[in-house]
Amino acid sequence: MPATHRLPERAGAQLGEAEIAGEQDGSGLRLGICCSRFNENVTRRLLEGAYEALDRLGIAPEDRLVVVVPGAFELPLAAKRLAAEHAVDAVVCLGAVIRGETSHYDFVACQCAAGLQRVQLETGVPTVFGVLTTETLEQALDRSGGALGNKGDEAVATAVEMVNLLRRLREVGSRLAVGSRLKAT
């Protein structure tokens, strides 16, 4: 989905309805990044894109923690440890699973995705799937700083947006608990 894509406006929206979205401001946020070493020629590029986004979004160097794991299959365990024990606001997981001649790809890609989803649901800490699952090395290179952008950069932006969105939802929940009305943002 292109970054410029917008949700359609609802016909007949009522005044006073609230829309809640996260912002792209990372100041004061602590972010963990788990990066797979396997397919390092791709994952290093994803990590470079992530660093660019960290700088652009205002996340201070002292508020970043990068953990390197052997492969994509190990990302969920490292992400869970970061989310549960290291007081990070979000975890970004970067990796590259490129289809080969065996079914290994299917097992690794599916279990990595499912594991990362479980981490965020169990911990409440946004855990972003920045793992490329491609048919070819060329496709992976295109998505790690090539013709199709850098998914490492996008993953960090998603993490920041989700942290801010969850904070806004908590604020709204607190106001609703005391009977306040929602206000559009």
- Tens digit of pLDDT for each residue in 127-164? 999 999 999 999 999 999 999 999 999 999 999 999 99
pLDDT tens digits, residue range 32-62? 999 999 999 999 999 999 999 999 999 999 9
| DSSP, residue by residue, 107-147 | HHHHHHHHHHHHHHHHH-S-EEEEEEEESSHHHHHHTEEET
Strand partners, 92: 33, 128
Per-residue exposure over 96-124, b if at least 16 CB sit within 10 Å of its own CB, e if not: bbbbeeeeebeebbeebbebbeebbeebe
CA dist., res. 86 & res. 107, Å (int): 29
Residue 101 phi, psi (nearest 5): -90, -5
Q: Cβ distance 3 to 158 under 8 Å?
A: no
Q: What is the pLDDT of residues 9-39, one digit of tens each?
A: 665 555 455 677 888 999 999 999 999 999 9
Prediction pTM value = 0.86
The torsion of the CA quartet 104, 106, 112, 118, rounded to 10 degrees, works out to -140
| Dihedral of alpha carbons 167, 173, 178, 180, sign | positive
Catalytic residues: 104
Domains of the chain: 31-177 (3.40.50.960)
